[in-house]
Every structure is written in C-alpha cells, then in structure tokens.
Amino acid sequence: MPLSRTASPAASAADAASRTKVRYVILALIFVITTLNYADRATLSVTGSAMRAEFGFDAIRMGYIFSAFSWAYVLSQLPAGWILDRFGARRVYATSIFLWSLFTLLQSTIGVLGSTAAAVTALFALRFVMGAAEAPAFPANAKVVASWFPTQERGTASAIFNSAQYFAAVVFTPLMAWVTHAYGWHHVYLMMGVAGLALAFVWLKVMKNPANHPGVNPQELEYIEQGGGLVNGHQRKSRDGGAVQAKGNGWRIMRQLLSNRMLLGVYLAQYCINVITYFFLTWFPIYLVQARGMTILQAGLVASLPAICGFLGGVLGGVISDSLIRAGCSLTLARKAPIVGGMALSACIVGCNYVHSDWLVVLLMSLAFFGKGIGALGWAVVADTAPKEAIGLSGSIFNMFGNVAGIVTPIAIGYLVAKTGSFDSALAFVGVNALITVISYLVIVKEIKRVELV
C-alpha cells in the first residue's frame, strides 16, 4: 500500500528500503548509450587533423563536413518525435542506435576513395545519414526519464544522462586520439561502430516501461507514479484501461507548443547552450592543435580536462536543482538558478583570447565547460513542461531548435577562422551565446510548468 503523507519516518524508510531500484539500471543504460552517441559525433573532431592532412581539406570545407551531421539531425527531429510518440522508446531507440553505429562503421572506408572530392562527398553523406539516425536519441532519453523518474529525481536523472556528453570526451577523446596516433584514423570508426551495434541489442533486452518491467516491484512503481512518472510510457491509461490519445493532430499540437512563450524561451536558450557544445565537439581539438601548437595526442589528452569539469558540473547542476525542490523551492527557481549561474560562468571562455599560457587556456576552458554543465538542465525542463500526450514531439522540437547550433557553429567558426586567421572572434562568438542563454531564462521564460493541450 502507498504511504500516506503522515507516515512515520521509520515507515517511510522501510518502504524506501523495500523498493526495487530498476530505474537506476535504466538510467545507467541510457547514460552508456548517450556516452557512445556523443563519442560517435566527436570522431571527426579527433580524426579531423589526420584526415585533413591526408585529403587536403581546408577550414571552410571542414566546417561544412562538421555541419553535415546537424543538417540531418535537425531536419529529422519532428518525424523522430512523432515516431517516438507512436511506437515508444524501446523499438525506436534500438533502431536508432543500430543505424547510427552502422553509418559510423562505414566512415572507416572512405580512405579507399583516393581523391579529395570523393572523400568530401562520401564523408558528408555518411555524416548526414548518421545525423538522421541519431535524431530520436535525446527525445527518447527524455521520454524514458519522464516515465521512470518522479519529479523530485528528474533533474538529477536528466543531468546524469546529459552529462554523458562530457564523460564521452573524458573517456573517448584520449582513446580515439591514441587509436588515431597508433593505428590510423580508420580504426576509430571501426571501434565505435562495432560497439554501437552490440549496444542496440542490449537496449532491446533490458528496456521496458515501468508498468511492464518484470523487475519492478509495486513499491517502486507506486513511488514513480505518485511522483509524476508516466509509468505506461508513451501511452496514458484511461479509467477503463484504454489508451488516451493526444488531443488534436501533430500539427495542431506543434502550433500550441510553438506559440507558448515559456517554451520559445527554452528553445532559444538551448540553441545558445549548444553553440558551446558544438564548439567543443567540433573545433576545440583543432583549436588546440592549430592555435596552441599541440600534437593530436596532446590535444586528445588536454581536451579531456574541460570535459571532466563539464561532467562534474552536469551532475552537480541536477543535484542542486532537485535539492532546491526538496527544500521547498518552486520548480521555476529550482531549474532557473543553476541554468543562469552556470551559463554566466561559461562566458569566461572569452578570456582565452587574453592569455598566453596553455595552462590558463585549459583552466578557462574547464571553468566554461563546468558552468555549461551546471546550466545544461534543458532536458529536465522538457520533462517538466512537455504535454503528457506529446513528450516525444515536444522533446524533438526542443532538440531541433537546439541543434540548429550544430549547423551554424562549425560553419560560422570555419569562416571566422579562415577570415581572421585566428580563433579570437570564434571564442567571442561562443561567449556571447552563453550570455544570451542567461537573458532568455531571466526575461523570456517565466513560470516553468507543464503545458496542457487544448
């Protein structure tokens, strides 16, 4: 039986002890998958210097190749969200993992093409279809967290899976740099592709909705459901047991989401946050090699230091946010405080233009990434605000806006570097976007609450 609000501390402790902890297993799995997801995105940033030397890519051409992933990723978000709401995260996510890993594996073969033009075309095409395949990943993560976690744990859970992007850089950037140095860039794509293909089958075996998972006992299920978790996944149940359908068609729902001031502010902020993300995913290792004179191996190792700080900040941001909720603060304050404070700290990246010592550059980059980690609570906000009938679509719109930065950032930085011959203006571009995030949450986003469809 569920505990009442007046239950004794001893009874509450006994109930907590009797709950299964399957939700943490699911969280660990999406953390591993998201780590691999971001490592696959970053393969080109690590191998890029070696590939440029082999094929003769210039900075502008490299910028367009970097952006190929995001063109498809953005364009595929809305279809991916609709498919997730229609078929659920289990099957759609498994297919997504399998396909993006296959396309990663195929990138190992472009060396046989020989000519620069053919290599550019093939690499752009493979990065493009890889982006389309990865489109359901983060909306699926948001659906899983909304299903498996109550509100008071959702910020930490979202921060943990989102912090996988930093963990990927900590673990895989130096590993991929070493593989590139020791065996050649081709082996990076072979290694990552095979790992992802295996993980797709693990996901299919382990993942189910809380209400259907054989490992979840009634105490854990009730704890999740009473805390606001959507235990039936992509369908809600009516009183007679039937599925409740979303109100209106997908276009009508999308119009309601896009006309909501709160959500528009969240979307703008996510775009600006992702400018920082895509700088680190694309140009940062190349910045270390070209602007700071490091070798590929040194850049791989140094790039892991800001990533460690980003990972720590990412987890800390979620913990702070959920702690504020448990302390009685409003959801709005609990989500906004880490976002605003963290992104204000991220603006210190501009300071790299005014220092000369490599250790100071690494320190400022680490502080910027730490702040970005604390402020990267957008997916928790999505889980808090998305209509219950359209979490996949809402997450996809959010992700679509955010990942427009993946198109703009690498191309803009490529042009800035080519025009000025340095990264100074590129770092200023990144810092300004951090400040726009702060303004968006303070001025545009008002109360954070779940949107009700009409």
Residues paired with residue 236 on neighbouring β-strands, in sequence order: 244
Q: What confidence tier does 7 reach under pLDDT thresholds 50, 70, 90?
A: very low
Residue 420 is predicted with a pLDDT of 83
What is the rounded distance in angstroms from the CA atom of residue 372 to the CA atom of residue 379? 14
Q: Is the pLDDT of residue 17 over 80?
A: no
Q: What is the mean pLDDT of residues 195-199?
A: 95
Percent of the chain whose predicted confidence (pLDDT) is above 70: 90
Q: Is the pLDDT of residue 289 over 70?
A: yes
Residue 12 is predicted with a pLDDT of 55
Query: What's the pLDDT tens digit per position in 248-262?
Result: 566 788 888 888 899
Q: What confidence tier does 232 reach under pLDDT thresholds 50, 70, 90?
A: confident
- Residue type, position 84, single letter: L
Asked, for residue 338, whether it belongs to a domain, the answer is yes
Between 238 and 375, residue with greater pLDDT:
375
Asked, for residue 57, whether it belongs to a domain, the answer is yes
Q: Tally the C-alpha atoms within 13 A of residue 260's C-alpha that lie toward its C-beta.
A: 26
Query: What's the pLDDT tens digit per position in 378-391?
Result: 888 988 888 877 77
Q: What is the mean pLDDT of residues 162-177?
A: 83
Mean per-residue pLDDT of the chain:
83
CB-based contacts of 82: which residues, under 8 Å, 6+ apart? 250, 392, 393, 396
Q: What is the CATH number of the domain that holds 28?
A: 1.20.1250.20
Q: What is the mean pLDDT of residues 270-295?
A: 81
Residue 434 is predicted with a pLDDT of 94
Residue 5 is predicted with a pLDDT of 40
Q: Is the pLDDT of residue 243 over 60?
A: no
Q: What confidence tier does 14 reach under pLDDT thresholds 50, 70, 90?
A: low
What is the rounded distance in angstroms from the CA atom of residue 44 to the CA atom of residue 218? 46
Number of domains in the chain: 1
Tokens 């404070």 -> residue = 341
Q: What confidence tier does 6 reach under pLDDT thresholds 50, 70, 90?
A: very low
Tokens 């009442």 -> residue = 4
Asked, for residue 372, whether it belongs to a domain, the answer is yes
Between 56 and 21, residue with greater pLDDT:
21
CB-based contacts of 441: which residues, under 8 Å, 6+ apart? 265, 269, 336, 339, 340, 343
Residue 383 is predicted with a pLDDT of 80
pTM reported for the whole predicted model:
0.72
The domain of 29 spans 21-231+246-444
Asked, for residue 427, whether it belongs to a domain, the answer is yes
Query: What's the pLDDT tens digit per position in 422-436?
Result: 788 888 999 999 999
Cα dihedral: 186, 188, 193, 198 (round 10)? 130
What is the rounded distance in angstroms from the CA atom of residue 16 to the CA atom of residue 20? 9
Between 241 and 368, residue with greater pLDDT:
368
Query: What's the pLDDT tens digit per position in 340-374?
Result: 999 999 999 999 888 888 788 888 989 998 999 89
Q: Is the pLDDT of residue 53 over 90?
A: no
Asked, for residue 335, whether it belongs to a domain, the answer is yes
Weakest mean pLDDT among 51-55, 121-125, 203-207, 216-220: 51-55
Query: What's the pLDDT tens digit per position in 130-144?
Result: 999 999 998 889 888
Distance of CA 410 to the CA centre of its chain: 17
For residues 211 and 232, is the Cβ–Cβ distance under 8 A?
yes
Asked, for residue 241, whether it belongs to a domain, the answer is no
